[in-house]
Structure 1
Protein backbone atom coordinates (compact mmCIF):
# COMPACT_ATOMS: atom_id res chain seq x y z
CA UNK A 1 0.00 0.00 0.00
CA UNK A 2 1.30 3.47 -0.80
CA UNK A 3 2.10 5.54 2.24
CA UNK A 4 -0.26 8.37 2.94
CA UNK A 5 1.35 11.77 3.17
CA UNK A 6 1.02 13.76 6.33
CA UNK A 7 -1.31 16.72 5.84
CA UNK A 8 0.49 20.07 5.80
CA UNK A 9 0.52 22.21 8.90
CA UNK A 10 -2.29 24.78 8.87
CA UNK A 11 -0.97 28.01 7.41
CA UNK A 12 2.31 26.48 6.21
CA UNK A 13 1.55 26.85 2.51
CA UNK A 14 0.40 30.40 3.01
CA UNK A 15 3.50 31.32 5.06
CA UNK A 16 5.97 29.74 2.59
CA UNK A 17 4.18 30.76 -0.58
CA UNK A 18 6.75 32.14 -3.09
CA UNK A 19 4.21 34.66 -4.33
CA UNK A 20 3.65 36.03 -0.87
CA UNK A 21 7.36 36.17 -0.05
CA UNK A 22 8.08 37.94 -3.36
CA UNK A 23 5.32 40.48 -2.77
CA UNK A 24 6.63 41.17 0.75
CA UNK A 25 10.15 41.71 -0.61
CA UNK A 26 8.89 44.11 -3.29
CA UNK A 27 6.75 46.09 -0.85
CA UNK A 28 9.53 46.28 1.74
CA UNK A 29 12.07 47.39 -0.89
CA UNK A 30 9.74 50.07 -2.21
CA UNK A 31 9.08 51.30 1.32
CA UNK A 32 12.85 51.31 1.96
CA UNK A 33 13.54 53.55 -1.05
CA UNK A 34 10.44 55.72 -0.58
CA UNK A 35 11.31 56.53 3.02
CA UNK A 36 14.96 57.16 2.10
CA UNK A 37 13.92 59.45 -0.75
CA UNK A 38 11.71 61.53 1.54
CA UNK A 39 14.46 61.87 4.15
CA UNK A 40 17.12 62.70 1.55
CA UNK A 41 14.98 65.32 -0.21
CA UNK A 42 14.05 66.93 3.11
CA UNK A 43 17.68 67.00 4.28
CA UNK A 44 18.92 68.39 0.96
CA UNK A 45 16.33 71.16 0.96
CA UNK A 46 17.11 72.14 4.55
CA UNK A 47 20.86 72.10 3.90
CA UNK A 48 20.47 74.05 0.65
CA UNK A 49 22.00 71.29 -1.49
CA UNK A 50 20.93 70.27 -4.96
CA UNK A 51 18.52 67.33 -4.99
CA UNK A 52 19.81 64.56 -7.23
CA UNK A 53 19.04 60.90 -7.73
CA UNK A 54 22.73 60.22 -7.12
CA UNK A 55 22.10 60.87 -3.43
CA UNK A 56 19.82 57.84 -3.40
CA UNK A 57 21.50 55.30 -5.67
CA UNK A 58 25.14 56.35 -6.00
CA UNK A 59 27.76 55.14 -3.52
CA UNK A 60 30.16 57.93 -4.46
CA UNK A 61 28.24 60.41 -2.29
CA UNK A 62 28.70 58.33 0.87
CA UNK A 63 32.16 59.38 1.95
CA UNK A 64 33.63 59.78 5.39
CA UNK A 65 35.73 62.85 4.53
CA UNK A 66 32.89 65.22 3.59
CA UNK A 67 29.98 66.75 5.44
CA UNK A 68 27.55 65.60 2.76
CA UNK A 69 28.75 62.03 3.19
CA UNK A 70 28.24 62.01 6.95
CA UNK A 71 24.83 63.66 6.56
CA UNK A 72 23.74 61.01 4.07
CA UNK A 73 25.05 58.34 6.41
CA UNK A 74 22.89 59.70 9.21
CA UNK A 75 19.90 59.77 6.84
CA UNK A 76 20.39 56.09 5.94
CA UNK A 77 20.64 55.16 9.62
CA UNK A 78 17.36 56.96 10.28
CA UNK A 79 15.92 55.14 7.30
CA UNK A 80 16.85 51.78 8.82
CA UNK A 81 15.09 52.79 12.04
CA UNK A 82 11.97 53.70 10.11
CA UNK A 83 12.03 50.51 8.04
CA UNK A 84 11.75 48.47 11.23
CA UNK A 85 8.16 49.71 11.37
CA UNK A 86 7.53 48.43 7.84
CA UNK A 87 9.04 45.07 8.84
CA UNK A 88 6.60 44.91 11.75
CA UNK A 89 3.66 45.72 9.49
CA UNK A 90 4.61 43.57 6.49
CA UNK A 91 6.52 40.65 8.00
CA UNK A 92 5.38 40.48 11.64
CA UNK A 93 7.45 37.33 12.32
CA UNK A 94 10.69 37.59 14.25
CA UNK A 95 12.21 34.48 12.62
CA UNK A 96 12.03 36.09 9.17
CA UNK A 97 13.36 39.55 10.05
CA UNK A 98 17.03 38.72 9.44
CA UNK A 99 16.32 37.21 6.02
CA UNK A 100 14.29 40.18 4.85
CA UNK A 101 16.72 42.76 6.26
CA UNK A 102 19.67 41.14 4.49
CA UNK A 103 17.62 40.79 1.29
CA UNK A 104 16.80 44.50 1.31
CA UNK A 105 20.47 45.47 1.61
CA UNK A 106 21.56 42.88 -0.96
CA UNK A 107 19.08 44.28 -3.49
CA UNK A 108 20.32 47.78 -2.65
CA UNK A 109 23.86 46.59 -3.42
CA UNK A 110 22.74 45.29 -6.81
CA UNK A 111 20.81 48.46 -7.62
CA UNK A 112 23.72 50.68 -6.58
CA UNK A 113 26.21 48.63 -8.60
CA UNK A 114 24.00 48.73 -11.70
CA UNK A 115 23.40 52.47 -11.34
CA UNK A 116 27.08 53.36 -10.97
CA UNK A 117 28.34 50.53 -13.24
CA UNK A 118 30.76 49.48 -10.50
CA UNK A 119 30.77 47.59 -7.23
CA UNK A 120 31.03 49.99 -4.26
CA UNK A 121 34.67 50.44 -3.35
CA UNK A 122 34.14 52.87 -0.48
CA UNK A 123 34.68 51.36 2.98
CA UNK A 124 32.37 53.96 4.49
CA UNK A 125 29.52 52.66 2.30
CA UNK A 126 30.09 49.05 3.38
CA UNK A 127 30.33 50.01 7.06
CA UNK A 128 27.11 51.96 6.73
CA UNK A 129 25.31 48.99 5.16
CA UNK A 130 26.41 46.67 7.97
CA UNK A 131 25.32 49.21 10.56
CA UNK A 132 21.98 49.70 8.83
CA UNK A 133 21.34 45.94 8.54
CA UNK A 134 22.21 45.44 12.21
CA UNK A 135 19.88 48.20 13.37
CA UNK A 136 17.04 47.05 11.13
CA UNK A 137 17.41 43.43 12.25
CA UNK A 138 17.69 44.06 15.98
CA UNK A 139 14.89 46.60 16.11
CA UNK A 140 12.68 44.54 13.79
CA UNK A 141 13.15 41.37 15.87
CA UNK A 142 12.36 43.27 19.07
CA UNK A 143 9.21 44.81 17.58
CA UNK A 144 7.97 41.49 16.15
CA UNK A 145 8.64 39.63 19.39
CA UNK A 146 6.80 42.32 21.33
CA UNK A 147 3.83 41.84 19.02
CA UNK A 148 4.01 38.03 19.19
CA UNK A 149 4.11 37.99 23.00
CA UNK A 150 1.11 40.25 23.46
CA UNK A 151 -1.85 38.47 25.12
CA UNK A 152 -4.59 37.38 22.75
CA UNK A 153 -7.96 38.97 23.39
CA UNK A 154 -10.92 36.86 22.29
CA UNK A 155 -13.45 39.60 22.92
CA UNK A 156 -14.32 38.59 26.49
CA UNK A 157 -14.74 41.31 29.03
CA UNK A 158 -12.46 41.55 32.01
CA UNK A 159 -14.11 39.84 35.01
CA UNK A 160 -15.29 42.18 37.69
CA UNK A 161 -13.14 42.41 40.78
CA UNK A 162 -14.63 41.17 44.06
CA UNK A 163 -15.62 43.87 46.56
CA UNK A 164 -12.78 44.98 48.82
CA UNK A 165 -12.43 43.35 52.21
CA UNK A 166 -13.07 45.34 55.38
CA UNK A 167 -11.23 44.94 58.66
CA UNK A 168 -13.17 44.22 61.85
CA UNK A 169 -12.23 45.09 65.43
CA UNK A 170 -9.97 42.04 65.79
CA UNK A 171 -7.89 43.11 62.82
CA UNK A 172 -9.09 40.25 60.66
CA UNK A 173 -10.34 41.02 57.21
CA UNK A 174 -13.98 40.41 56.44
CA UNK A 175 -15.18 40.29 52.87
CA UNK A 176 -18.59 40.68 51.34
CA UNK A 177 -20.10 38.18 48.98
CA UNK A 178 -17.98 35.47 47.41
CA UNK A 179 -14.21 35.35 47.45
CA UNK A 180 -11.22 33.06 47.76
CA UNK A 181 -9.52 31.82 50.90
CA UNK A 182 -6.05 32.83 51.94
CA UNK A 183 -4.63 29.61 50.53
CA UNK A 184 -6.39 30.19 47.20
CA UNK A 185 -7.81 26.66 47.34
CA UNK A 186 -11.48 27.42 46.90
CA UNK A 187 -14.31 29.85 47.21
CA UNK A 188 -16.22 30.79 50.31
CA UNK A 189 -19.33 32.78 51.00
CA UNK A 190 -19.74 35.08 53.98
CA UNK A 191 -23.01 34.59 55.84
CA UNK A 192 -24.39 37.35 57.99
CA UNK A 193 -24.49 36.67 61.75
CA UNK A 194 -26.46 38.40 64.44
CA UNK A 195 -24.24 39.72 67.22
CA UNK A 196 -25.06 38.47 70.75
CA UNK A 197 -26.70 35.25 69.46
CA UNK A 198 -24.47 32.23 69.79
CA UNK A 199 -25.37 28.56 69.38
CA UNK A 200 -23.71 26.19 71.82
Structure 2
Protein backbone atom coordinates (compact mmCIF):
# COMPACT_ATOMS: atom_id res chain seq x y z
CA UNK A 1 0.00 0.00 0.00
CA UNK A 2 1.57 3.33 -1.02
CA UNK A 3 2.37 5.72 1.79
CA UNK A 4 0.12 8.74 1.96
CA UNK A 5 1.85 12.08 1.65
CA UNK A 6 1.15 14.76 4.21
CA UNK A 7 -0.88 17.65 2.82
CA UNK A 8 1.14 20.83 2.37
CA UNK A 9 0.87 23.57 4.96
CA UNK A 10 -1.69 26.19 3.91
CA UNK A 11 0.14 28.93 2.04
CA UNK A 12 3.45 27.07 1.92
CA UNK A 13 3.49 26.57 -1.86
CA UNK A 14 2.36 30.11 -2.47
CA UNK A 15 5.04 31.57 -0.17
CA UNK A 16 7.87 29.48 -1.67
CA UNK A 17 6.77 29.74 -5.28
CA UNK A 18 9.77 30.69 -7.46
CA UNK A 19 7.52 32.73 -9.72
CA UNK A 20 6.21 34.77 -6.83
CA UNK A 21 9.67 35.30 -5.34
CA UNK A 22 11.04 36.39 -8.72
CA UNK A 23 8.17 38.81 -9.26
CA UNK A 24 8.72 40.31 -5.80
CA UNK A 25 12.44 40.75 -6.47
CA UNK A 26 11.74 42.46 -9.80
CA UNK A 27 9.11 44.73 -8.25
CA UNK A 28 11.38 45.73 -5.36
CA UNK A 29 14.35 46.37 -7.67
CA UNK A 30 12.28 48.56 -9.97
CA UNK A 31 10.91 50.48 -6.99
CA UNK A 32 14.45 50.83 -5.63
CA UNK A 33 15.73 52.43 -8.83
CA UNK A 34 12.57 54.46 -9.44
CA UNK A 35 12.73 56.13 -6.04
CA UNK A 36 16.48 56.69 -6.38
CA UNK A 37 16.00 58.26 -9.82
CA UNK A 38 13.32 60.63 -8.50
CA UNK A 39 15.47 61.70 -5.54
CA UNK A 40 18.60 62.12 -7.67
CA UNK A 41 16.80 64.14 -10.36
CA UNK A 42 15.23 66.40 -7.75
CA UNK A 43 18.54 66.91 -5.90
CA UNK A 44 20.49 67.57 -9.10
CA UNK A 45 17.87 70.05 -10.31
CA UNK A 46 17.94 71.96 -7.02
CA UNK A 47 21.76 71.98 -6.89
CA UNK A 48 22.02 72.99 -10.54
CA UNK A 49 24.04 69.91 -11.52
CA UNK A 50 23.87 68.09 -14.83
CA UNK A 51 21.55 65.09 -14.74
CA UNK A 52 23.02 61.86 -16.14
CA UNK A 53 22.72 58.12 -15.66
CA UNK A 54 26.16 58.10 -14.04
CA UNK A 55 24.61 59.53 -10.90
CA UNK A 56 22.35 56.48 -10.68
CA UNK A 57 24.45 53.56 -11.93
CA UNK A 58 28.11 54.56 -11.74
CA UNK A 59 30.02 53.89 -8.53
CA UNK A 60 32.62 56.50 -9.48
CA UNK A 61 30.19 59.31 -8.65
CA UNK A 62 30.08 58.27 -5.00
CA UNK A 63 33.21 59.79 -3.53
CA UNK A 64 33.93 60.96 -0.03
CA UNK A 65 36.11 63.91 -1.06
CA UNK A 66 33.49 65.86 -3.02
CA UNK A 67 30.20 67.55 -2.13
CA UNK A 68 28.42 65.73 -4.94
CA UNK A 69 29.57 62.38 -3.55
CA UNK A 70 28.28 63.11 -0.05
CA UNK A 71 24.99 64.43 -1.44
CA UNK A 72 24.52 61.27 -3.48
CA UNK A 73 25.33 59.21 -0.40
CA UNK A 74 22.57 60.98 1.54
CA UNK A 75 20.17 60.39 -1.35
CA UNK A 76 20.91 56.65 -1.36
CA UNK A 77 20.38 56.47 2.40
CA UNK A 78 17.00 58.16 2.04
CA UNK A 79 16.22 55.76 -0.78
CA UNK A 80 16.91 52.75 1.48
CA UNK A 81 14.44 54.13 4.03
CA UNK A 82 11.83 54.57 1.31
CA UNK A 83 12.43 51.05 -0.01
CA UNK A 84 11.62 49.66 3.45
CA UNK A 85 8.04 50.82 2.86
CA UNK A 86 7.88 48.78 -0.35
CA UNK A 87 9.22 45.76 1.54
CA UNK A 88 6.39 46.16 4.03
CA UNK A 89 3.80 46.38 1.26
CA UNK A 90 5.14 43.60 -0.99
CA UNK A 91 6.78 41.18 1.45
CA UNK A 92 5.14 41.83 4.85
CA UNK A 93 7.10 39.00 6.52
CA UNK A 94 9.87 39.91 8.91
CA UNK A 95 11.89 36.71 8.42
CA UNK A 96 12.25 37.42 4.67
CA UNK A 97 13.32 41.06 4.94
CA UNK A 98 17.06 40.35 5.24
CA UNK A 99 17.07 38.08 2.18
CA UNK A 100 15.30 40.62 -0.02
CA UNK A 101 17.38 43.55 1.25
CA UNK A 102 20.65 41.74 0.50
CA UNK A 103 19.31 40.64 -2.89
CA UNK A 104 18.49 44.24 -3.83
CA UNK A 105 22.01 45.42 -3.01
CA UNK A 106 23.62 42.42 -4.69
CA UNK A 107 21.74 43.12 -7.92
CA UNK A 108 22.73 46.77 -7.60
CA UNK A 109 26.38 45.67 -7.34
CA UNK A 110 26.06 43.66 -10.55
CA UNK A 111 24.31 46.49 -12.40
CA UNK A 112 26.89 49.04 -11.23
CA UNK A 113 29.78 46.79 -12.18
CA UNK A 114 28.38 46.16 -15.66
CA UNK A 115 27.64 49.83 -16.22
CA UNK A 116 31.08 50.99 -15.05
CA UNK A 117 32.90 48.00 -16.63
CA UNK A 118 34.66 47.33 -13.32
CA UNK A 119 33.96 46.18 -9.79
CA UNK A 120 33.67 49.10 -7.33
CA UNK A 121 36.97 49.84 -5.61
CA UNK A 122 35.86 52.91 -3.71
CA UNK A 123 35.60 52.26 0.04
CA UNK A 124 33.01 55.02 0.35
CA UNK A 125 30.72 53.09 -2.04
CA UNK A 126 31.06 49.86 -0.07
CA UNK A 127 30.47 51.63 3.27
CA UNK A 128 27.37 53.24 1.83
CA UNK A 129 26.00 49.89 0.66
CA UNK A 130 26.54 48.36 4.10
CA UNK A 131 24.82 51.31 5.77
CA UNK A 132 21.95 51.21 3.27
CA UNK A 133 21.40 47.45 3.70
CA UNK A 134 21.48 47.78 7.49
CA UNK A 135 18.94 50.60 7.56
CA UNK A 136 16.66 48.86 5.07
CA UNK A 137 16.75 45.59 7.02
CA UNK A 138 16.26 47.19 10.44
CA UNK A 139 13.35 49.38 9.41
CA UNK A 140 11.79 46.62 7.28
CA UNK A 141 11.92 44.05 10.10
CA UNK A 142 10.47 46.53 12.58
CA UNK A 143 7.63 47.53 10.24
CA UNK A 144 6.78 43.91 9.35
CA UNK A 145 6.83 42.81 13.00
CA UNK A 146 4.59 45.73 13.92
CA UNK A 147 2.15 44.63 11.23
CA UNK A 148 2.33 40.96 12.25
CA UNK A 149 1.71 41.73 15.95
CA UNK A 150 -1.31 43.96 15.40
CA UNK A 151 -4.42 42.60 17.20
CA UNK A 152 -7.01 40.97 14.99
CA UNK A 153 -10.41 42.66 15.13
CA UNK A 154 -13.26 40.19 14.67
CA UNK A 155 -15.78 43.03 14.67
CA UNK A 156 -19.01 43.63 16.61
CA UNK A 157 -19.92 42.88 20.21
CA UNK A 158 -22.09 39.90 19.28
CA UNK A 159 -24.93 39.35 21.69
CA UNK A 160 -23.49 41.40 24.51
CA UNK A 161 -26.02 43.00 26.81
CA UNK A 162 -26.32 46.76 27.13
CA UNK A 163 -26.75 48.31 30.57
CA UNK A 164 -29.88 50.36 31.14
CA UNK A 165 -30.28 53.47 33.23
CA UNK A 166 -31.96 51.61 36.13
CA UNK A 167 -29.09 49.12 36.40
CA UNK A 168 -30.81 46.27 34.55
CA UNK A 169 -29.55 44.69 31.32
CA UNK A 170 -31.48 44.26 28.09
CA UNK A 171 -30.57 42.02 25.18
CA UNK A 172 -29.76 43.47 21.75
CA UNK A 173 -32.49 41.62 19.90
CA UNK A 174 -35.01 44.46 19.57
CA UNK A 175 -34.31 46.56 22.67
CA UNK A 176 -37.44 45.44 24.61
CA UNK A 177 -37.13 43.90 28.06
CA UNK A 178 -38.78 40.61 28.84
CA UNK A 179 -41.37 40.79 31.59
CA UNK A 180 -44.72 40.85 29.88
CA UNK A 181 -47.01 37.86 30.25
CA UNK A 182 -44.98 34.92 31.47
CA UNK A 183 -41.28 35.51 31.95
CA UNK A 184 -38.54 36.56 34.35
CA UNK A 185 -38.93 39.60 36.53
CA UNK A 186 -36.78 42.67 35.92
CA UNK A 187 -35.31 42.35 39.41
CA UNK A 188 -34.24 38.73 38.72
CA UNK A 189 -36.48 37.41 41.52
CA UNK A 190 -37.82 34.54 39.43
CA UNK A 191 -40.60 33.79 37.00
CA UNK A 192 -44.10 35.11 37.41
CA UNK A 193 -47.46 34.76 35.67
CA UNK A 194 -50.11 37.46 35.37
CA UNK A 195 -53.44 36.36 36.78
CA UNK A 196 -56.79 37.86 35.84
CA UNK A 197 -58.83 39.89 38.36
CA UNK A 198 -61.77 37.52 38.43
CA UNK A 199 -59.57 34.52 39.00
CA UNK A 200 -57.80 36.34 41.78
CA UNK A 201 -61.06 37.18 43.61
CA UNK A 202 -62.23 33.56 43.56
CA UNK A 203 -59.05 32.42 45.13
CA UNK A 204 -59.45 34.71 48.19
TM-score (norm 2): 0.79
**Root mean square deviation, CA, Å:** 2.3
SS of 2:82 mapped into structure 1: helix
Structure-1 residue corresponding to 2:53 = 53
Structure-2 residue corresponding to 1:157 = 156
Aligned residues: 174
Stretches of structure 2 that go unaligned for 5 or more consecutive residues are: 170-185, 189-204
CA distance in 2, matches of 1:52, 1:161: 68
Structure 1 segments of 4+ aligned residues over 4 angstroms from their partners = 158-165
Stretches of structure 1 that go unaligned for 5 or more consecutive residues are: 166-174, 179-189, 193-200
Structure-2 residue corresponding to 1:22 = 22
CA distance in 2, matches of 1:69, 1:161: 66
Cα 1:161–1:102 change in 2 (3 A) is: farther
Structure-1 residue corresponding to 2:67 = 67
Give the CA deviation at 1:191: 3.4
Give the CA deviation at 1:153: 2.4
Structure-1 residue corresponding to 2:168 = 177
Q: Which has the larger radius of gyration?
A: 2
SS of 1:28 mapped into structure 2: helix
After superposition, residues 91-170 of structure 1 pair within 5 angstroms as 91-154=91-154, 156-158=155-157, 163=163
CA distance in 1, matches of 2:75, 2:161: 50
CA distance in 2, matches of 1:148, 1:8: 22
Cα 1:82–1:177 change in 2 (3 A) is: same
1:79 matched to 2:94: no
CA distance in 2, matches of 1:145, 1:92: 8
Structure-2 residue corresponding to 1:191 = 187
Give the CA deviation at 1:158: 4.5
Give the CA deviation at 1:143: 0.6
SS of 1:60 mapped into structure 2: helix
Give the CA deviation at 1:136: 0.3
